[in-house]
Structure 1
């Protein structure tokens, strides 16, 4: 049994049955049944693995610490629920026959469930009003909305201004001041930045994408031009509403002391200044990934690691954290940047010749001097 689970099978499993088909697609790589031979042990009492198991075929024996046994048959009502879900596990699970299991990462499943339940009322309400539920689901599945409370999302939807635009329309232009951000409701758009006389295509945006937020967060001119590739609809959110409803819950800031604690737990400094600034002085073992290149080079980062973004004033690092949150990374900004630190801390953090890392093209990093 190696084919992915069917929709009927997914709808029979609790609490998977509350997820949307879009969310099932996100789990697609994990929805392939895993075989186990008769007599093999699945887990013991005390097991701490953050994995969710469902029995799909065959028979299991569950034995508690006091010797009580329970035979679990696939297809029974009990098999529609996760096996021994509490951690640490309270039972031993052993295959009585050849069996088939669904094995899911518990953290991913919890995130999807939390999202679905938090926004379920909002989606139902929008559907009853004839709104575009599919687009909102796609928007809200952007990882940054995992940190945005549902009342904020509801308020944001009420304040969005709908603009129907033709292919070739420039929605925002490089060098202009930023007074709003946009969400792409339909169509496709292209992000282009000027490099001297050259024009560099940075990205192609699809429905649900947010753009224009970097100029708001950094209080700098637009750093790219966004043009529609086909007729489409964009939704405009004014600067004031952006800061009140999205920036505040999404951009996490930490003090230097909090950053030190995170570093001791395996976090890494991420310097989002220009390379010239970085080479003058930077934090030891930091990775330089300038803000204007972050969207292109973020794939070099590790989604299991925490990143501590810093710059001079804190503006660029705030932009970096917002962008990394959109891409599903865990990041914090150093509050007020390095210029906000007392001189003794700033001099201790930044060194002129300490080793670090530079993000290069071609998907690689290299040691800096």
Structure 2
């Protein structure tokens, strides 16, 4: 038995109904109805799995320890709430008919709901101060801001400087030093790399987009030019405020010991150095995605996986972690980079050389020749 999981159906489920469409996209791998055959147990009393269940189709029976029973029918008001949400479970759940259920990771759901409610309060608070909140709503819908505390967002908004730009003007220029980043409030801008016959348009940014942050993270010159396609309004954030309010809560760094624990749990090394650096020596099974290509190739990564980024100094890996956060991935940087490791640890980590591993669509990995 299957039940179409439409946006309307999602909006009928509590607390999914408070999430934004961007947050539903973050959950999309989990938004797949699961079949349960009549007579099967969905869960038993005492179960402690951190999962949230919703009944989408069919009928089931909940039975408490004292024998009290509750018959639950899909489409009823009660079915719009999680089934036996307390842990450990206080009830048995058995399918009376073939069922369709939605099963979500409770930790992820709780994080998204908490973030959404906290930022809704912020939007209400700011409603009297900002004439137009659409750009801010789009900004806060970025996966990046799921990791930024509301207090930091509030402080950031107080420090933004508004800049009006005409079509054809340049906001950032490739090769220049970076002392700030920007958020696009209105209009259209495009990101360009190279000049003349080497000129390449990399992207056209949407309202709410952050740009110029990579030079601040890596402490390197701008790696692209940003020009205005249609009259625009941007908001400028100085380097020191960017580092204190956005980078510090988002760019998580770990040591080699913690990295080993995460690898055991299924994490993946991501080498963000140049291909030549990677081929000289790299970590076992590490994927190579040079920082300048990461934004273009990130669609090939697996969103259900945690990526451990490394480079020589730690600067490129910090940029990579920030970028992955913007795109909705979980990532950590190796603290201090390879240069900070004792020689014996560095040699133990970088124990492979030559061509390595290629990532394909859907996160599938192949060993290159």
Q: Give the TM-score band, short-chain normalised.
A: 0.7 to 0.9
Aligned partner of 1:148 in structure 2 is 148
Contact conserved, 2:26 with 2:328, CA < 8 A, in 1? no
Q: After superposition, give the CA deviation of every residue in 1:222-254 in whole Å (9 maximum; x if it has no partner).
A: 011112222222111111110110011111111
Distance change (3 Å), C-alpha of 1:199 and 1:261: same
Contact conserved, 2:284 with 2:352, CA < 8 A, in 1? no
Map 1:109-188; keep pairs closer than 5 Å: 109-188=109-188
Of stretches 214-223 and 109-118 in structure 1, the one that deviates more from structure 2 is 109-118
Aligned partner of 2:42 in structure 1 is 42
* 2: CA distance, partners of 1:283 / 1:21: 37
Q: After superposition, give the CA deviation of every residue in 1:72-95 in whole Å (9 maximum; x if it has no partner).
A: 355655434211113443322234
Aligned partner of 1:295 in structure 2 is 295
Question: Does residue 284 in structure 1 map to residue 284 in structure 2?
Answer: yes
Aligned partner of 2:317 in structure 1 is 317
Distance change (3 Å), C-alpha of 1:73 and 1:270: closer
Aligned partner of 2:224 in structure 1 is 224
Contact conserved, 1:283 with 1:354, CA < 8 A, in 2? no
Distance change (3 Å), C-alpha of 1:226 and 1:243: same
* 1: CA distance, partners of 2:329 / 2:125: 30
Q: After superposition, give the CA deviation of every residue in 1:257-276 in whole Å (9 maximum; x if it has no partner).
A: 22222223222221111111
* 2: CA distance, partners of 1:186 / 1:93: 51
SS at match of 1:175: coil
Contact conserved, 1:360 with 1:366, CA < 8 A, in 2? yes
**Shift of residue 43 of structure 1?**
3.4
Contact conserved, 2:301 with 2:359, CA < 8 A, in 1? no
Distance change (3 Å), C-alpha of 1:225 and 1:365: farther
Using the size of structure 1 for normalisation, the TM-score is 0.86
* 1: CA distance, partners of 2:263 / 2:17: 39
Map 1:1-369; keep pairs closer than 5 Å: 2=3, 4=5, 7=8, 13-20=13-20, 23=23, 39=39, 41-47=41-47, 50-55=50-55, 59-73=59-73, 78-96=78-96, 101=101, 104-194=104-194, 197-351=197-351, 353=353, 356-358=356-358, 366-368=366-368
Using the size of structure 2 for normalisation, the TM-score is 0.86
SS at match of 2:176: coil
Distance change (3 Å), C-alpha of 1:164 and 1:269: same
Aligned residues: 368
* 1: CA distance, partners of 2:59 / 2:209: 46
Distance change (3 Å), C-alpha of 1:360 and 1:66: closer
SS at match of 2:163: strand
Of stretches 216-225 and 45-54 in structure 1, the one that deviates more from structure 2 is 45-54
**Shift of residue 309 of structure 1?**
1.1
SS at match of 1:204: strand
Distance change (3 Å), C-alpha of 1:357 and 1:11: closer
* 2: CA distance, partners of 1:277 / 1:255: 21
Contact conserved, 1:283 with 1:356, CA < 8 A, in 2? no
* 2: CA distance, partners of 1:42 / 1:20: 28
* 2: CA distance, partners of 1:5 / 1:200: 39
Distance change (3 Å), C-alpha of 1:293 and 1:365: farther
* 2: CA distance, partners of 1:348 / 1:100: 49
Contact conserved, 2:189 with 2:230, CA < 8 A, in 1? yes
